[in-house]
């Protein structure tokens, strides 16, 4: 398990400049471009990655297409693909510490979380879809005797996966593992500020036996690499996690190119609804604080709007503030840090702007709101609680993606539902109540992809994650994710 000495042994390891991974080997950008990678721990340049262009994307897609068509993976028996993916899971686990430390240096997530939610979770995801794939059956249709109607689940072809910087390994493997398990080839574009661990996973995949050309990684900017992948005529599906603004662009790119299917996992402004009859308000405050502040709030499902029943609002916010102020914010590679760095200077500046805007709109700052540890050169921010946030306020409506909680009181269940549903998003929600009937009513009435009851966070790979409304249209995780990466094909056979 994790110990500080083994983390420290890796924390300053040199990271050489990184090329793309195409056709089973490293490939520099065709035009030689490089992008600096700045570590949020200390603001220093950690290494460089290839600054890809459309030509690099063309090369990767062409390689992926050849690999798909010649059947080296797409027509391999599922039980054989399973063995490879299980080996990959084992290799990721064997390299979990190295991956976690590298990821933390790249994106600033606290090491405890990076180890479990990034490295170990990625290992589990490859194993899960590896284990599943030789248990997926087609169907025989209930036709007349003279006909045999068969329904096949066929791999789709070349999958373009575009992922963000907040949990690159976890989210990247949610796309890549089911796509590969189903027999597709993949071209993955990581967030430009969090590419290092996914490049390493591509190498480990090769070592595990994923044939050359089946899993490719092209790094670089969204507006070049991402756009080229999304506009590409030979990419069959886009699997995306990121912001709504980028999601909208992808739909346009699809319309302008080959009508590729787009699965979008987008942002949220998730309500965490605390009723006065919650079974344990102390526990609710503790879990709610973690539900917004871990990973500096850079979690898509973060419970960023606290809706709390008026009778208990003051006491609850006081308790939550106590928890917020007790978190240790600091170097994400220190095991004692419970909250690491904000991902970048740009993200930190945006967070601080949200605090100013909230105050200008009449909210009251109850805790935090400031940059801290600036002397380290890193980007750290205090957990922040803003009370008295109104439905029309920016902080109520816009996703921050930072450690800022908006608090809004409510009177009764109907008002709680109205406020919970009062944004364009529908990703996650929490409900705290001891009343079983109320819990079920709230599950039915809140429009979000997941509703937590008397807890917040933690759904594992066995259940789907996907947004409603403007939080997206696809699902990662669970066996349902396999449906995205297969086509239903019918055979209609005259006997
Ligand atoms: P982003 O949309 O800026 O970037 C996501 C990815 O898209 C990156 O790889 C980026 O390079 C690429 N991209 C940017 N512009 C592009 C373009 N024009 N064409 C193609 N690709 C482009 O998002 P981000 O800042 O990296 O991530 C934060 C967002 O992701 C938040 O909104 C967060 O809620 C969301 N998110 C959602 C989930 C989920 O499961 N629903 C999970 C994690 C993060």
pLDDT of 473: 95
Q: Is 160 a domain residue?
A: yes
Within a domain: 465: no
User: pLDDT for 285-316, tens place per residue?
Assistant: 999 999 999 999 999 999 999 999 999 999 99
436 CA to centre of ligand 1 in angstroms: 37
Same domain, 327 and 443: yes
User: Is 324 within 8 Å of 318 (Cβ atoms)?
Assistant: no
Average pLDDT over residues 5-30: 98
Helix (H) or strand (E) run with residue 162 in it: strand 158-162
Both tokens of 25, joined, read 């080997």
Percent of residues, the chain, with pLDDT higher than 70? 100
Task: Answer whether 425 contacts ligand 1 (Cβ < 6 A).
Answer: no
Q: Which helix (H) or strand (E) holds 350?
A: helix 345-360
Assess whether 199 and 226 both reside in one domain. yes
pLDDT > 90: percent of the chain: 100
Same domain, 41 and 170: yes
The mean of the pLDDT values for the chain is: 98
pLDDT, residue 236, reads 98
Single pTM value for the model: 0.98
User: Using N-to-C axis directions, what is the helix angle for 413-420 and 436-445, rounded to 10°?
Assistant: 30
In this structure, the answer to whether residues 58 and 137 fall within a common structural domain is: yes
Distance of CA 232 to the CA centre of its chain: 23
Other CB atoms within 10 A of residue 279 CB = 11
SS3 label, residue 255: helix
Rounded mean pLDDT, 132-138: 97
Ligand 1 near 427 CB (within 6 A): yes
The backbone torsions φ and ψ at residue 455, rounded to the nearest 5 degrees and listed phi first, read -165, 175
User: Is position 262 annotated as part of the catalytic site?
Assistant: no
Residues in the chain: 495
My answer on whether 82 and 136 are in the same domain is yes
Which residue is listed with tokens 């899971």? 89
Distance 244 CA to ligand 1 centre (A): 8
Q: Are residues 330 and 198 in the same domain?
A: no
Could you tell me if 205 and 327 lie in one domain? no
Structural contact between residues 166 and 107, judged by C-beta atoms closer than 8 angstroms: yes
Using 50, 70 and 90 to split pLDDT, how confident is the model at 433?
very high
Range of the domain at 114: 4-266+472-494
123 and 247 share a domain? yes
> Is the torsion defined by CA of 42, 43, 47, 50 positive or negative?
positive
In short, whether 473's Cβ falls inside 6 Å of ligand 1 is no
Cβ pair 189, 226 in contact under 8 A: yes
265 is a catalytic site residue: yes
Q: What CATH number has the domain bearing residue 400? A: 3.40.309.10
β-sheet with 185-189: strand ranges across: 25-27, 20-22, 215-217, 185-189, 158-162, 237-241, 261-265
**Distance between alpha carbon 399 and the CA centroid of its chain, in Å?**
15
CA distance 84 to 200: 16
Range 223-250 burial, b when 16+ CB lie within 10 A, else e: ebbbbbbbbbebbbbbbbbbbbebbebb
Give domain status of residue 316, yes or no: yes
Place of tokens 């200390």: 42
Structure tokens at 65: 């297409």
Let me know whether 262 and 275 are in one domain.
no
Q: Best mutation site among 49, 218, 221, 222 for ligand 1, i.e. most ligand atoms within 8 A of its Cβ? A: 222
* Mean pLDDT to the nearest integer, 321-339: 98
- The active-site residue, picked from 110, 118, 227, 300, is 300
Tell me how far the alpha carbon of residue 51 lies from the centroid of ligand 1, in angstroms.
17
246 ligand 1 Cβ < 6 A: yes
If asked whether residues 200 and 301 sit together in one domain, one would say no
- First-to-last alpha carbon distance for the chain, in angstroms, is 60
Do 179 and 55 share a structural domain? Answer: yes
Residue whose CA lies nearest to ligand 1 atom number 21 = 226
1: how many CB neighbours lie within 10 A of its CB? Answer: 5
Mean pLDDT of 404-417: 98
Q: List, for residues 67-96, the tens digit of each pLDDT value.
A: 999 999 999 999 999 999 999 999 999 999
At 19, which CATH number?
Answer: 3.40.605.10
Q: Is residue 146 part of a domain?
A: yes
- Whole-number Å distance, alpha carbon 162 to ligand 1 midpoint, is 8
205-226 pLDDT per residue, tens? 999 999 999 999 999 999 999 9
Q: One of 110, 227, 265, 399 is an active-site residue; which one?
A: 265
Transcribe 115-129 into DSSP letters: IIIIIIHHHHHHHHH
244-261 per-position pLDDT tens digit: 999 999 999 999 999 999
Nearest CA to ligand 1 atom 22: 222
Amino acid 3: pLDDT = 96
pLDDT at 1 over 90: no
CB 57 within 8 Å of CB 169? no
Work out the burial of residue 494: count CB atoms within 10 Å of its CB; fewer than 13 is exposed, 13-18 middle, 19 or more buried: exposed
- DSSP-derived letter for residue 222 is I
Residues 469/119, Cβ–Cβ less than 8 Å? no
Question: What token pair was written down for 190?
Answer: 């990581």
Number of domains in the chain: 2
């Amino acid at each position: 398990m994790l110990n500080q000495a083994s983390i420290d042994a890796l924390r300053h390891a040199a990271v050489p400049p990184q090329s793309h991974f195409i056709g089973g080997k490293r490939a520099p950008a065709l035009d030689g471009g490089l992008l600096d990678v700045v570590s949020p721990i200390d603001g220093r340049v950690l290494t460089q990655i290839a600054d890809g262009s459309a030509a690099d994307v063309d090369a990767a897609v062409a390689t992926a297409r050849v690999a798909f068509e010649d059947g080296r993976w797409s027509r391999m028996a599922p039980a054989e693909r399973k063995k490879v993916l299980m080996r990959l899971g084992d290799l990721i686990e064997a390299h979990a510490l190295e991956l976690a430390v590298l990821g933390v240096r790249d994106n600033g997530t606290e090491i405890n979380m990076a180890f479990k939610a990034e490295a170990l979770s990625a290992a589990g995801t490859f194993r899960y879809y590896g284990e599943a794939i030789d248990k997926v059956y087609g169907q025989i249709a209930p036709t007349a005797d003279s006909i045999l109607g068969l329904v096949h689940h066929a791999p789709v072809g070349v999958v373009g996966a575009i992922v963000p910087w907040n949990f690159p390994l976890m989210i990247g493997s949610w796309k890549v593992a089911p796509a590969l398990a189903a027999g597709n080839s993949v071209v993955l574009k990581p967030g430009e500020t969090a590419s290092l661990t996914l490049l390493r996973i591509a190498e480990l995949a090769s070592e595990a036996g994923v044939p050359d050309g089946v899993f490719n990684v092209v790094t670089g900017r969204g507006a070049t690499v991402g756009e080229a992948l999304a506009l590409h005529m030979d990419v069959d599906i886009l699997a995306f996690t990121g912001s709504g603004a980028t999601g909208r662009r992808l739909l346009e790119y699809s319309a302008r190119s080959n009508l590729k299917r787009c699965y979008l996992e987008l942002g949220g402004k998730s309500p965490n609804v605390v009723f006065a009859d919650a079974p344990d308000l102390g526990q609710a405050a503790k879990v709610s604080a973690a539900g917004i502040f871990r990973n500096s709030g850079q979690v898509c499902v973060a419970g960023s709007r606290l809706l709390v029943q008026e009778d208990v609002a003051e006491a609850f916010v006081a308790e939550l503030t106590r928890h917020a102020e007790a978190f240790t914010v600091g170097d994400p590679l220190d095991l004692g840090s419970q909250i690491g760095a904000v991902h970048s200077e740009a993200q930190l500046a945006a967070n601080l702007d949200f605090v100013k805007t909230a105050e200008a709109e009449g909210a009251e700052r109850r805790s935090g709101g400031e940059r801290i540890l600036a002397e380290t050169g890193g980007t750290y921010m205090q957990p922040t609680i803003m009370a008295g946030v109104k439905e029309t306020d920016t902080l109520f409506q816009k996703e921050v993606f930072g450690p800022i909680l908006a608090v809004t009181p409510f009177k009764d269940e109907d008002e709680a539902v109205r406020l919970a549903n009062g944004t364009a998003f529908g990703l996650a929600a929490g409900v705290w109540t001891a009343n079983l009937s109320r819990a079920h009513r709230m599950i039915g009435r809140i429009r979000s992809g997941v509703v937590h009851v008397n807890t917040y966070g933690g759904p594992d790979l066995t259940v789907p994650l996907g947004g409603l409304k403007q939080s997206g249209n696809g699902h990662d995780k669970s066996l349902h994710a396999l449906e995205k990466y297969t086509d239903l094909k019918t055979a209609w056979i005259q006997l």
